[in-house]
Amino acid sequence: MARITAGLAMSHVPAIGRAVDTGMTGDAYWAPLFKGFEFSKTWEAANKPDVVFLVYNDHATAFSLDFIPTFAIACADEFAPADEGFGARPVPTVKGAPELAWHIAQSVIEQDFDLTIVNRMDVDHGLTVPLSLMFGQPKEWPVRVIPFAVNVVQYPPPSGRRCYNLGKAIRKAVESFPEDLNVQVWGTGGMSHQLQGPRAGLINSEWDKRFLDRIGPKPEELAAISHLEYVRETGSEGIEMVMWLIMRGALNDRVKEIHRHYHVPASNTAVGHIILENA
Amino acid sequence: MTGKPYDDIPGTTIFDAEMSRRGYHLNQFCMSLMKAENREAFKADERGYLDRWPMSEEQKQGVLARDFNGLIALGGNIYFLAKIFATDGKSFQWAAARMTGVPEADYLAMMVGGGRNPKGNRYKGKPD
């Protein structure tokens, strides 16, 4: 049977992708950020999953205002890196896991979460930057990926509670898949950041660190955080952190923290990262 | 529409239903800049390219002036507006500096120093 072994969370800032693509990871500005991922890359290589269920948000790339799915699961064989306005990132095509993706779609919809099913989609930095952080610059990505897009652009995004419960449904779906697969769930985005208006640049390290402290042992508390609190305390784009709760919901109630990293800034954003294993 | 729960947050526009309706054509224009040939057409004749879209004159002027705060008030969403400054070869950091009204070097220094402190930035007109 397929099983979820670990959950990872990390920010997905576009400038991080640019730093990787242009060989700037050793620069004074970037080095402290990437240093915090050195352990993670080694750990990931030693615990390499077959499939990553990658929760991210599309940034007006695959989804314009014509269609705005709250939750979209991508079931295609592969996904091309998107041209986001300055040419596509020079990273490998992302290979999908269509059989498992379709199984999850069917199972989760039967558990009352009405997903949008996507058969053709380019993937933007929200999906490819986490892969770069964990795998560097390989010729091919070493894992298959199920892209799972959450709307956090058009207000309101789904609530943290809804995301947490969806994670639980995804776990049930994975565990009912007959093939023996090691699956990781990654929640990406965050932490505090605001990209717009006169309050741009807001960073709330204290709040972020409390979030990191609680994501393992006290996810129920985090699931109760309101949209208003996210926006007021962590900036208008900090609300992306609801996606971490999908990851957390997909894990056991008890988890073991393997690694944590927090760094300010990457461009406008506080970068947070955590690895949780099922206890 | 009045009385939104987030109205009291300073310097922040929430891209809700009202803003999305107001900005639909502006944002869809931005979306068109995802294609290289459209970026070329826009760069060759910005006004002419904008005139192909059913946007308000105010929105078109906002694009020409790269007035991102103005465009946000007219329904622009930052992830869509990003296509404009990406076309210009500019970064999110550049755009954020512009929206906060400081030179990019000063903005960079603020971020490296830990970012904008939430203290005094949670509620309009209140220290906290």
Q: What integer pLDDT is reported at residue B128 of this predicted model?
A: 76
E strands in A17-143 = 51-56, 71-74, 78-79, 94-95, 116-118
**Cβ contact A121:A57 at 8 Å:** no
- In chain B, pLDDT over 90 holds for what percent of residues? 95
Q: What integer pLDDT is reported at residue B110 of this predicted model?
A: 98
| Whether residue B44 sits in one domain with residue B78 | yes
Q: Which of A51, A57, A141 is nearest to A99 (CA)?
A: A51
Question: B17 to chain A: which residues are within 8 Å by CB?
Answer: 155
Nearest to A65 among B16, B20, B122 (CB): B20
| Residue A268 touches partner B, C-beta closer than 8 Å | yes
Q: How far is B113 from chain A (nearest CA, A)?
A: 8
| Whether residue B79 sits in one domain with residue B22 | yes
CA nearest A156 in B: which residue? B16
| Whether residue B22 sits in one domain with residue B83 | yes
Side-chain-side CA neighbours of A256 within 13 Å: the count stands at: 5
Question: B96 to chain A: which residues are within 8 Å by CB?
Answer: 195, 200-201, 268
A148 or B1, greater pLDDT: A148
Domains of chain A: residue spans and CATH: 3-278 (3.40.830.10)
Question: A83 to chain B: which residues are within 8 Å by CB?
Answer: 34-36
**What is the full DSSP assignment across B94-116?**
HHHHHHHTS-HHHHHHHHHTT-B
A155:B16 CB<8 A: yes
**Structural domain count of chain B:** 2
| Whether residue B21 sits in one domain with residue B54 | yes
Q: Does residue B10 form part of some domain? A: no
B14:A200 CB<8 A: no
| Whether residue B111 sits in one domain with residue B55 | no
Q: Does residue B126 form part of some domain? A: no
Q: Does residue B72 form part of some domain? A: yes
| Whether residue B99 sits in one domain with residue B37 | no
Listed in sequence order, the residues at least 6 apart from A36 whose beta carbon sits closer than 8 Å to its beta carbon are A261, A262, A263, A271, A273
Domain containing residue B76: CATH number: 1.10.700.10
Known active-site residue A125: yes
pLDDT along chain A (279 residues), means of 10: 97 96 97 98 98 97 96 98 90 98 98 98 97 98 98 98 98 98 98 97 98 98 98 98 98 98 97 96
Q: How far is B118 from chain A (nearest CA, A)?
A: 6
| Whether residue B43 sits in one domain with residue B28 | yes
Q: What is the pLDDT of residues B86-113, one digit of tens each?
A: 999 999 999 999 999 999 999 999 999 9
Question: B109 to chain A: which residues are within 8 Å by CB?
Answer: none
Q: What integer pLDDT is reported at residue B125 of this predicted model?
A: 86
Q: What is the mean pLDDT of residues B25-46?
A: 97
Cα A33 from chain centroid (whole Å): 17
Q: Which of B13, B93, B84 is nearest to B53 (CA)?
A: B84
| Whether residue B62 sits in one domain with residue B38 | yes
Nearest to A201 among B14, B69, B111 (CB): B111
Residue B66 has pLDDT above 70, yes or no: yes
pTM: 0.97
Structure ipTM: 0.95
Q: What rounded mean pLDDT belongs to chain B?
A: 96
**Cβ contact A62:A147 at 8 Å:** no
Q: What integer pLDDT is reported at residue A116 of this predicted model?
A: 98
Q: Which of A250, A258, A230, A233 is nearest to A242 (CA)?
A: A230
Q: What integer pLDDT is reported at residue B2 of this predicted model?
A: 64
E strands in A46-92 = 51-56, 71-74, 78-79
From A59, A103, A193, A273, active-site residue: A193
B12:A204 CB<8 A: no
At A129, the amino acid letter reads V
| CA–CA gap between residue A153 and residue A138 (Å, rounded) | 31
| Whether residue B71 sits in one domain with residue B24 | yes
| Whether residue B37 sits in one domain with residue B82 | yes
| Whether residue B95 sits in one domain with residue B64 | no
Cα A29 from chain centroid (whole Å): 24
Domain that holds residue B33: 17-87
- Sheet of A116-118, strands arranged across: A116-118, A71-74, A144-150, A51-56, A182-188, A3-10, A269-278, A255-266
| Whether residue B95 sits in one domain with residue B66 | no
- Crossing angle of the two packed helices A38-46 and A125-135, in degrees rounded to 10: 80
Known active-site residue A263: no
